[in-house]
Amino acid sequence: MNLTERLDLRGGRNCWREAPSEDKPEELPQSCDVVVIGAGVMGALVAQRLAADGLDVTLLDRRAPSTGATAASTALVMWDADVPLTHLARAIGAEEAARRWRRVFSAVETLDERIASLGLNCSWKSRPELYLAGDVLDAEALEHEVAARAAAGLPSALMKGAALGERFDIAPRDGLLSTGSFEVDPVALTLGMIKAARGAGAKLCFPHEVERLGLESDGVRVHCANGADIVAKHVVLATGYEAARLFLPEAFSLSSSYAIASKPGEAPAWRENALIWEASDPYLYARATSDGRIIVGGEDEEFVDAKKRDALIPEKHAALAAKAAVMLQRDDMQFDCAWAATFGGSPDGLPAIGRAQTMDRVLLAYGYGGNGVTFASLGSEMVRALIRGDDDPAQTYFDPYRTFGHQDEL
Ligand SMILES: Cc1cc2nc3c(=O)[nH]c(=O)nc-3n(C[C@H](O)[C@H](O)[C@H](O)COP(=O)(O)OP(=O)(O)OC[C@H]3O[C@@H](n4cnc5c(N)ncnc54)[C@H](O)[C@@H]3O)c2cc1C
C-alpha cells in the first residue's frame, strides 16, 4: 500500500494567487535531520519552525508548494473550533475541554507573533469574530457557551440580535463576539513560511511522491516513486487530506466543502469586516479579503468523490449566494469565483498531532477541522517539542489515537 492515496483535492476557480515560479526545487539530499512530507500550510509552518531552530530540514511534496488543500482554504484564522466548547465539555469534562481550547487560542497568538517577526506579507489582519445563533447553539445555548468560554479565560461576549445587527450592519441575530481572530491569504502565508524556512537552510524538493517509509537503525528512509530516497532522523507527515491511513485513524474523516468569492472591491459590505459564522448544521460563513473580495463558504457534503463534488459547484454557488444575501442583508453581491474541495474533520473538531503509534520517529501533523490554519501553527509548535524531547501537555490533548469521551455529546 502506498503511503498516501492521491486525491483530486479541489475543483472550480478559487480566489488566491497560485504558486509562483520562483519556488525552484532543489536536489534531494541523501540525508538530513527532518523530512517534512507535504508543502501545504502545515508542512510550511513545521519546516520554518524546525529550520529556525538550526535543524537540517528537507520539505518534500508531490505537487508544487501550496497547491493542495491550502489553495482552497477560506482562511478565517480562529481559535474556536467546529465543536462548541460546551459540547466538548459534556464529552470530556469542563477542565479538560478548557485546556484544549486554551492551547488552540495560544496557537493563534503564536502565529500572530511569528508572522510579525518574520515580516511576512500575507494579508494578515486582526478581525472581530461573530458566531451567530443557529440550530447547533440557539440563543439560550449561546449563553452557556459564553459562560464556559469566560470560565476558560477565552475572550467572547454575548451580543443581543438588535445590537449586533446595528453594530455590524447585518441581519439581527444573537451571537458571540470574540477577539483574537484573524484573516490571512493562505497561499501567501504558506509561500512566505517556505521562503523563511529556506532562508534558514531548509531544502524544498518537488515533485517527489513519497511511496513508503522504511525503518533504519539511525532513522527512517523515505522512498520516492521516482526511485530517489533520503534518510532522516525524524519524518513529519503533513500530507493533509491525502492522509497516511497506515497511521491516521479513520475517526479523522473526509467530506467536501464549497466556497464562492466576489471580485475585489465589493467589501466592506458589513461593518468592521468581521469574520462571521453560524452555529448551524449545515453552517454558513463569510469574510472579506484585504483587496475587498467577499468570501462565503459552507454547504458541506459528506461524500468525497471529486466528480460528484465538482458537478455540484453551480448549485452550491447559488445556494451560498442566496443564504449570504439573507445573512448579510444585501442582494447586490456578485460572485465570480466558485470552488469545491475535499475537507477533513474530526469528532471533537480538533487536530491529530503526535507520534505515529507504530513508528517512533514518524510524527503526524494533520490539521483536520475548520481551523486548519490555526492547527498548522499548533502542529508546528508541538512537532518542535516532540523532536526536542520537551514536555508538552498538549501531546495528550491532540494525540491522533485519543478517545473522544462521550461522543454522542459532541
Ligand atoms: C474549502 C475549505 C475552506 C477552509 N476554510 C478554512 C478556514 O476558514 N480556516 C482554517 O483555519 N482552515 C480552513 N480550511 C482548512 C485548511 O485550509 C486546511 O486544514 C489546510 O489548508 C490543510 O493544509 P495541509 O498543509 O495539511 O494540506 P495541503 O495543503 O493539502 O498540503 C499537503 C501536501 O501534501 C502533499 N502530499 C500528500 N501526499 C504526499 C506524498 N505521498 N508524497 C509527497 N507529497 C504528498 C500534497 O501534494 C499537498 O501539497 C479550509 C479548507 C477547505 C478545503
pLDDT of the chain along its 410 residues, tens only?
799 999 999 999 999 976 555 678 999 999 999 999 999 999 999 999 999 999 999 999 999 999 999 999 999 999 999 999 999 999 999 999 999 999 999 999 999 999 999 999 999 999 999 999 999 999 999 999 999 999 999 999 999 999 999 999 999 999 999 999 999 999 999 999 999 999 999 999 999 999 999 999 889 999 999 999 999 999 999 999 999 999 999 999 999 999 999 999 999 999 999 999 999 998 999 999 999 999 999 999 999 999 999 999 999 999 999 999 999 998 889 999 999 999 999 999 999 999 999 998 999 999 999 999 999 999 999 999 999 999 998 999 999 999 998 888 88
Kindly give the number of the ligand 1 atom that is closest to the alpha carbon of 10.
Answer: 53
Cell readout for 218 is 539511525
Q: Pick the closest to residue 89 from 99, 104, 77 (CA basis).
A: 99
The pLDDT value recorded for residue 165 is 97
CATH number at residue 161: 3.30.9.10
Q: Is residue 134 part of a domain?
A: yes
Ligand 1: residue of 62, 222, 316 to mutate (most ligand atoms within 8 A of CB) is 62
Q: Is residue 50 part of a domain?
A: no
| Domain total of the chain | 1
Q: Is residue 155 part of a domain?
A: yes
Distance between Cα 170 and ligand 1 center (Å): 31
Q: Is residue 159 part of a domain?
A: yes
Q: Is residue 74 part of a domain?
A: no
Which residue has the least CA distance to atom 27 on ligand 1?
Answer: 240
Q: 0.85 cut: is pTM over it?
A: yes
Cell readout for 107 is 496557537
Distance between Cα 110 and ligand 1 center (Å): 20
Distance between Cα 168 and ligand 1 center (Å): 31
Q: Is residue 398 part of a domain?
A: no
Q: Is residue 384 part of a domain?
A: no
Ligand 1: residue of 48, 60, 70 to mutate (most ligand atoms within 8 A of CB) is 70
Which residue has the least CA distance to atom 37 on ligand 1?
Answer: 239
The pLDDT value recorded for residue 406 is 84
Q: How many angstroms separate the CA atoms of 410 and 405, rounded?
A: 9
Which residue has the least CA distance to atom 52 on ligand 1?
Answer: 73
Kindly give the number of the ligand 1 atom that is closest to the alpha carbon of 239.
Answer: 34
The pLDDT value recorded for residue 351 is 98
Distance between Cα 144 and ligand 1 center (Å): 33
Kindly give the number of the ligand 1 atom that is closest to the alpha carbon of 342.
Answer: 53
Q: Is residue 373 part of a domain?
A: no
Q: Which residues have any ligand 1 atom within 6 Å of their CB?
A: 3-4, 9, 37-43, 60-63, 68-70, 72-77, 209-210, 238-242, 257, 259, 297, 341, 343, 367, 370-374
Q: Letter for the amino acid at 13?
A: R
Cell readout for 273 is 469586516
Q: Pick the closest to residue 124 from 76, 193, 192, 185 (CA basis).
A: 185
Q: Which position has the grid cell 440563543?
A: 139
The residue segments making up the domain with residue 323 are 125-180+253-345
Cell readout for 96 is 479538560
Three-class secondary structure assignment of the chain: CCCCCCCCCEEEECCCCCCCCCCCCCCCCCEEEEEEECCCHHHHHHHHHHHHCCCCEEEECCCCCCCCHHHHCCCEECCCCCCCHHHHHHHHCHHHHHHHHHHHHHHHHHHHHHHHHHCCCCCCEEEEEEEECCCCCCHHHHHHHHHHHHHCCCCEEEECHHHHHHHHCCCCCCEEEEEEEEECCHHHHHHHHHHHHHHCCCEEECCCCEEEEEEECCEEEEEECCCCEEEEEEEEECCCCCCCCCCCCCCCEEEEEEEEEECCCCCCCCHHHCEEEECCCCCEEEEECCCCCEEEEEEEECCCCHHHHHHCHHHHHHHHHHHHHHHHCCCCCCEEEEEEEEEEECCCCCCEEEECCCCCCEEEEECCCCCHHHHHHHHHHHHHHHHHCCCCCHHHHCCCCCCCCCHHHC
